[in-house]
């Protein structure tokens, strides 16, 4: 069991077993010791210390060590721009949302990357997940970078804020206040090393308006405002990858005409010399997490690949973007995944399928403890007509935050089985999405900059 430092002196003693600190400079004196035990102690302190100041010091230390080690937070923007120019093709970057056991799950992804020479992959967490999994951006980034060190992964590390989503009700009441809330979260994320941000005002699309451009108005205006804000704060040497979204996931399928109306308004409200979005999320018929049936099974999805293909072609040919982004895909049938690289899909977001594996393999008593907590504390989320199976399926994602320590410290037998199963799933998906042997092509376009924890342009 890793040690959790209780004092600053203990934290220094842990670190000094493997690294030398000279002011802001750091050097690694024993890489084996660092990877064997020290990084475990540092990340457990960063996540589970009861002292907030000590947590912050551990996170800063992990970032410094990661920079020196060669696992460097980076933006995928230039890689997607290369896709837009036709220099890279038939690759769909997997973006994995990790809700629980983040350090250990991230390690499995880095293992796959090392074993198959993968460079095109993203770690992400959505605005809503930050809340219910109790993982602020600085903690999530620390977990990912610590995992890279543990698994000896060197190269650009892409960490992404997913669905930085506008609340339609709050926006209607006070647009500036809601915009500021998204700005505050974005600044927090960029400071933590999230150099990839997906802005999502698609919730503000108003289909009651007579024209497509009017329907997309608040979406493109807010996306343009957020793009400008990000360009103002992004650190020197970094062009943050900004994603836009035209179809709220779970709503009606997106069209080329909607995309062009969005882009027309967006570009009109962006300075000509400013880098814009690098990709566009669209609705193809999926829903986040899938649709649970009364018996707990997940309904089959009718996914329209033509949406990805057609909008993706216009995104690349007309606007120079990397292509389309697919959400809500992790519960799709396995045989569909190789279709994404074929259809101009530059990125795919995956979450619930991995969560399902984790819940399937934990001890029954732990699962029942979580489910009983959910039934007691989240009963107001039980919708009329839902069976208990549907309610549990839709809400058990919220069992990761309150039980974080128990997830991280599961008995080795159960933990090993979960991680082995996840490794095989990641390996399968990365193969289908055609990202094996992408490390060299990614590093051709991405030159990460070593920046300190908390860095933004003032």
Residue 313 counted as domain residue: yes
**For residues 61-89, average pLDDT:** 97
Q: Which of 50, 69, 88 is the last residue of a domain?
A: 69
Percent of the chain with pLDDT over 90: 89
Is residue 411, in this structure, part of any structural domain at all? no
Do residues 98 and 56 both lie within one domain? no
Confidence of residue 24 (pLDDT cuts 50, 70, 90): confident
User: How many CB atoms are located within 10 Å of the residue 214 CB?
Assistant: 13
* Residue 1, in any domain of the structure: no
Parent domain of 40: 8-69
Looking at the fold, whether 122 and 176 belong to one and the same domain comes out as yes
pLDDT tens across 242-274, in order? 999 997 654 678 999 999 999 999 999 999 999
**Lowest-confidence region among 242-251, 294-303, 424-433:** 294-303
Q: Within 13 A of 325's CA, how many CA atoms are on the CB side?
A: 30
pTM above 0.75, yes or no: yes
Residue 214 lies in a domain: yes
pLDDT for 302: 65
Judgement on whether residues 364 and 294 belong to the same structural domain of the protein:
no
Q: How far apart are CA 352 and CA 451, in angstroms?
A: 32
Return the pLDDT at 296: 55
- Secondary-structure breakdown of the chain: helix, strand, coil percentages, each rounded to the nearest 5: 55, 15, 35
pLDDT band at 311 (very low <50, low <70, confident <90, very high): very high
Same-domain check for residues 144 and 277: yes
User: What's the whole-number mean pLDDT along residues 426-431?
Assistant: 97
pLDDT tens column, 429-448: 999 999 999 999 999 999 99
- 146 found inside a domain: yes
Question: Does 2 map to a domain?
Answer: no
- Picking from 44, 69, 94, the residue at the C-terminal end of a domain is 69
Same domain flag for 345 and 375: no
Distance in angstroms (rounded) separating the CA atoms of residues 118 and 455: 27
Q: Which two tokens stand for residue 227?
A: 């793009």
Q: pLDDT tens digits for 95-147? A: 999 999 999 999 999 999 999 999 999 999 999 999 999 999 999 999 999 99
231's CB contacts (< 8 A; 6+ apart) are 240, 274, 275
Q: Which of 69, 90, 106 is the last residue of a domain?
A: 69
Say how many domains are in the chain. Answer: 3
The sign of the CA dihedral 140, 144, 145, 149 is positive
Domain annotation covers residue 367? yes
Q: Identify the pLDDT of residue 298.
A: 56
Q: Are residues 111 and 149 in the same domain?
A: yes
The answer to whether residue 338 sits within a structural domain is yes
**Whether 268 and 288 share a structural domain:** yes
Residue 410 pLDDT more than 60? yes
Mean pLDDT of 408-422: 98
**Which pLDDT belongs to residue 293?**
47
pLDDT, position 239 = 98
pLDDT averaged over the chain?
A: 94
Residue 25 pLDDT exceeds 90: no
In the numeric block, the tokens 């973006």 are attached to 95
Q: Please check whether residues 58 and 81 belong to one and the same domain.
A: no
Q: Are residues 227 and 347 in the same domain?
A: yes
Half-sphere exposure in the Cβ direction for 309 (13 Å, CA): 7
User: Of the candidates 176, 198, 107, 208, which has an alpha carbon nearest to the alpha carbon of residue 148?
Assistant: 107
CATH number for the domain including 263? 3.20.20.70
Task: Report yes or no: 92 and 435 within 8 Å, Cβ to Cβ.
Answer: yes
């Amino acid at each position: 069991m890793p040690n959790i430092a209780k004092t600053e002196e203990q934290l220094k003693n842990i670190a000094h077993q493997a690294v030398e600190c000279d002011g802001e400079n750091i050097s690694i004196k024993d890489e084996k010791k660092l990877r064997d035990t020290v990084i475990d102690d540092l990340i457990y302190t960063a996540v589970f210390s009861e002292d907030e100041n000590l947590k912050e010091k551990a996170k800063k230390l992990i970032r410094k060590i990661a920079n020196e080690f060669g696992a460097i937070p980076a933006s995928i923007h230039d890689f997607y721009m290369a896709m837009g120019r036709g220099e890279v093709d038939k690759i769909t970057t997997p973006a994995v949302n990790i809700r629980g056991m983040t350090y250990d799950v991230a390690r499995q992804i880095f293992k796959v990357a090392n074993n198959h020479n993968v460079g095109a992959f993203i770690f992400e967490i959505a605005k809503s997940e930050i809340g219910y999994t109790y993982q602020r951006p600085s903690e999530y980034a620390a977990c990912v970078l610590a995992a890279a060190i543990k698994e000896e992964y060197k190269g650009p590390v892409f960490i992404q804020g997913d669905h930085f989503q506008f609340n339609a009700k709050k926006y209607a009441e006070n647009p500036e206040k809601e915009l500021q809330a998204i700005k505050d979260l974005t600044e927090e994320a960029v400071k933590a090393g999230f150099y990839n941000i997906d802005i999502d005002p698609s919730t503000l699309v108003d289909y009651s308006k007579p024209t497509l451009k009017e329907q997309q108005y608040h979406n493109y205006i807010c996306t343009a405002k957020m793009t400008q804000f990000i360009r103002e704060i992004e650190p020197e040497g970094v062009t943050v990858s900004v994603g836009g979204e035209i179809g709220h996931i779970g709503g009606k399928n997106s069209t080329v005409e909607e995309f062009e109306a969005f882009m027309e308004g967006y570009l009109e409200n962006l300075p000509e010399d400013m880098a814009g979005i690098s990709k566009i999320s669209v609705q193809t018929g999926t829903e986040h997490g899938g649709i649970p049936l009364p018996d707990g099974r997940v309904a089959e999805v009718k996914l329209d690949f033509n949406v990805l293909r057609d909008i993706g072609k216009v995104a690349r040919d007309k606007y120079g973007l990397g292509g389309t982004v697919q959400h809500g895909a992790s519960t799709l049938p396995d045989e569909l995944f190789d279709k994404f690289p074929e259809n101009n899909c530059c990125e795919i977001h995956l979450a619930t399928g991995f969560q399902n594996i984790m819940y399937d393999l934990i001890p029954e008593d732990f699962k029942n403890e979580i489910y009983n907590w959910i039934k007691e504390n989240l009963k107001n989320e039980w919708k009329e007509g839902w069976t208990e199976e549907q309610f549990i399926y839709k809400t058990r994602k919220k069992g990761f935050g309150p039980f974080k320590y128990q997830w991280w410290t599961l008995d080795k037998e159960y933990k090993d089985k979960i991680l082995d199963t996840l490794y095989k799933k990641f390996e399968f998906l990365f193969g289908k999405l055609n990202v094996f042997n992408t490390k060299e092509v990614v590093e051709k376009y991405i030159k990460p900059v070593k920046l300190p924890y908390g860095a933004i342009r003032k």
